[in-house]
Amino acid sequence: MQRAVALLAAAMLWTGAAQAAPSAPPTVAVTGGTIAGTTDDRGTLLFRAIPFAAPPLGDLRWRPPAPVVPWLGRREATRPGASCLQNDYGWNHADYVRASEDCLTLDVATPALAGKRPVMVWIHGGSNRAGSAGETVRASLAARGVVLVAVQYRLGLLGYLPHRALAAEQGGHTGNYGLMDQIAALRWVQANIARFGGDPANVTIFGESAGAQDVGLLLAAPDTKGLFARAILQSGTPSFGLPWRPLDQALRLGDQLDALLGTGGSIAPLRAASAHALLEADKALHDPALQHDDFLWLRTTIDGAVLPRDPQTLLQEAPARPVIIGSNRAEFGLPGGRPHRDADVDDAFGAKTDKARAFYRLDAPDPAADPRLGDRDLRISTDILFRCPAGRLSDLLSGAGWPVWRYEFDLAPDGGRSFHGAEIGYAMEGRSLGPAITLQDYWLDFARSGRPAPAGKPAWPAYAPGRRHVIFDAHGATPGADLAATPCDWMDRI
């Protein structure tokens, strides 16, 4: 009897231990090997730091991304990967601290491994010189029936440097390695995302700021054909209203780097240079066509490979895809500040500068700041870098038969003015715009169907005809028209 009680007690203890034991981690076989992820408190499956290309180290520095290096056994995919190498600009300090050249990874979040869900691929912002995938895949967006992917790509001079020795080595083409990384990540998605419950035929790419610029360039790049179905550009366009950078001008950046480091035009010592030396040199590079070198890696280089011609021409030749394009009511101040304001206006409006100066009343005293638009300089900056280029891009694409939806976002979590990036939390976390309306609803419906028309929500009319759009603000979603009126019609840049 005592032995039976003991056996029963042991059985109960074993059963309790079995119930308390953690479930096996979700595992997926991907290009390169098997990965093991984890499950968050929403029940979403998370897979972190999955390699989509070989580490771009040593001889692979400044080359197109190479195939993934296979691994043996099961690779743990439960922790964020390193950020790509970058300088410290303050706002990106956490990414700077954990940065490495070995950074070509992506994160995936999915409700389940079975199924055929829409896929949304996020390309982070940061002026193409900073930032990371961060904690994107922990956003609530991933719990609402889509597979969410967040991509990392080479930044700054490691991601975008044009150099004469590289051009000689690479068939006359050089630069835009960060864009090549993004294309490699999209190819990885095509090859692997079905194993995460995603539909490779239903991929939406989306990004903010430089990420939106890169989305626009991916729409233009011929090599992306078949890699995604639609796109969302949040506060960024293919050039941010800046002039394209021809390759002959771009090569002068490489010349500057040679002079700074004393490398004599050879690529071998640059590939052997320390990361610290390259980051310090990056801060000293200068583009005379820009009013401020914060935008150095936002001026788009026509490299001849990823972008064989200027993106405006390439977009006119590209297959039509549904696109959402938008900007925030007040983004950020002028590059270089007030001393460069007149030059910025001259650069943006060209032959129409006198009209633009009269429109903004630049020869009059500063007016009082508008409660939503901000002061005059903020309004000018928002117009020439964001609102007007978004309008010109919308005109270009809708005129070529693309389905286009345009928005303006005017809300901030603290109740103040909108600011650059203010909409991200509303799209990723589903913060409320008003009674039962979220930006996330429209983004998700667009990803599912190619139209931002969630059931029971205010209608969002297509952009053309009449330049129709929707304003997202504290009142919810309000349709309007003629957002891209004066002075944007005096600009011709996207």
pLDDT in tens, 149-203: 999 999 999 999 999 999 999 999 999 999 999 999 999 999 999 999 999 999 9
For residue 26, being part of any structural domain is answered with no
Q: How far apart are CA 99 and CA 105, in angstroms?
A: 12
Q: Give the pTM.
A: 0.95
- Phi then psi for 217, rounded to 5 degrees? -70, -35
For residue 362, being part of any structural domain is answered with yes
Q: Which residues are identified as catalytic?
A: 209, 331, 420
Inter-residue contact 483 to 467 (CB < 8 Å): yes
Beta partners for residue 237, in sequence order: none
Beta partners for residue 432, in sequence order: 438
Average pLDDT over residues 325-330: 97
Amino acid letter, 394: S
Which structure tokens are listed for 459?
A: 């209608």
* CATH number of the domain that residue 415 is part of: 3.40.50.1820
pLDDT surpassing 50 at residue 240: yes
17-21, 85-89, 250-254, 347-351, range with the lowest pLDDT: 17-21
Q: Please, which pLDDT band fits residue 485 given cuts at 50, 70 and 90?
A: confident
Average pLDDT, the chain: 93
Amino acid letter, 55: P
Residue 219: partners with Cβ closer than 8 Å, 6 or more residues away = 231, 315, 318, 321, 323
Provide the CB-side half-sphere exposure for 376 (13 A, CA). 17
Average pLDDT over residues 333-362: 92
N- to C-terminal Cα separation, the chain: 86
- pLDDT for residue 484: 63
Amino acid letter, 299: R
Q: How far apart are CA 403 and CA 412, in angstroms?
A: 28
What pLDDT digit, counting tens, does each position of 77-125 carry?
999 999 999 999 999 999 999 999 999 999 999 999 999 999 999 999 9
Q: How far apart are CA 61 and CA 481, in angstroms?
A: 48
For residue 8, being part of any structural domain is answered with no
Sign of CA dihedral 8, 9, 14, 16: positive
For residue 10, being part of any structural domain is answered with no
For residue 195, being part of any structural domain is answered with yes
pLDDT surpassing 90 at residue 134: yes
Provide the CB-side half-sphere exposure for 177 (13 A, CA). 29
- CA-based diameter of the chain, in Å? 102
Q: How far apart are CA 391 and CA 96, in angstroms?
A: 34
What pLDDT digit, counting tens, does each position of 45-72 carry?
999 999 999 999 999 999 999 999 999 9
Q: How many domains does the chain have?
A: 1
Residue scoring higher pLDDT (142 or 110)? 110
- pLDDT for residue 287: 97
In terms of C-beta density within 10 A (0-12 exposed, 13-18 middle, 19 or more buried), how is residue 29 classed? Answer: exposed
For residue 260, being part of any structural domain is answered with yes
Cα three-residue angle 224-63-209, rounded to 5 degrees:
55
Cα three-residue angle 49-184-62, rounded to 5 degrees:
90
In terms of C-beta density within 10 A (0-12 exposed, 13-18 middle, 19 or more buried), how is residue 169 classed? Answer: middle
CB-CB neighbours of 478 under 10 Å: 14
pLDDT surpassing 70 at residue 6: no
Q: Please, which pLDDT band fits residue 297 given cuts at 50, 70 and 90?
A: very high
For residue 416, being part of any structural domain is answered with yes
Question: Strand locations in 194-242, DSSP E?
Answer: 198-208, 230-234
Which structure tokens are listed for 123?
A: 């390309």
Element (H, E) at 381: helix 376-382
CB-CB neighbours of 276 under 10 Å: 9
Q: Which of 473, 494, 433 is nearest to 217 (CA)?
A: 494
In angstroms, the Cα distances linking 268 to 65, 169, 258, 273, 325 are: 18, 11, 11, 9, 42
Q: How far apart are CA 473 and CA 476, in angstroms?
A: 5
In order, the DSSP letters of 181-228 are HHHHHHHHHHHHGGGGTEEEEEEEEEEETHHHHHHHHHHH-GGGTTS-
CB-CB neighbours of 284 under 10 Å: 11
In terms of C-beta density within 10 A (0-12 exposed, 13-18 middle, 19 or more buried), how is residue 66 classed? Answer: middle
For residue 397, being part of any structural domain is answered with yes
Q: How far apart are CA 98 and CA 470, in angstroms?
A: 39
229-238, 327-336, 384-393, range with the lowest pLDDT: 327-336
Inter-residue contact 471 to 434 (CB < 8 Å): no
pLDDT surpassing 90 at residue 482: no
> 427 by DSSP, 3-state: which?
helix
Q: How far apart are CA 103 and CA 52, in angstroms?
A: 10
- pLDDT for residue 9: 39
Provide the CB-side half-sphere exposure for 119 (13 A, CA). 30
Q: Please, which pLDDT band fits residue 481 given cuts at 50, 70 and 90?
A: confident
What pLDDT digit, counting tens, does each position of 255-271 carry?
999 999 999 999 999 99
Element (H, E) at 17: helix 2-20
Domain range for 277: 33-490
Which structure tokens are listed for 72?
A: 């043996």
- pLDDT for residue 261: 98
- pLDDT for residue 466: 86
Percentage of the chain lying above the pLDDT 90 cut: 89
Which structure tokens are listed for 256?
A: 């500057």
- pLDDT for residue 413: 81
Sign of CA dihedral 273, 277, 281, 283: positive
Cα three-residue angle 458-148-472, rounded to 5 degrees:
25
Which structure tokens are listed for 27?
A: 């595992």
- Phi then psi for 409, rounded to 5 degrees? -105, 130
Q: Please, which pLDDT band fits residue 14 given cuts at 50, 70 and 90?
A: very low
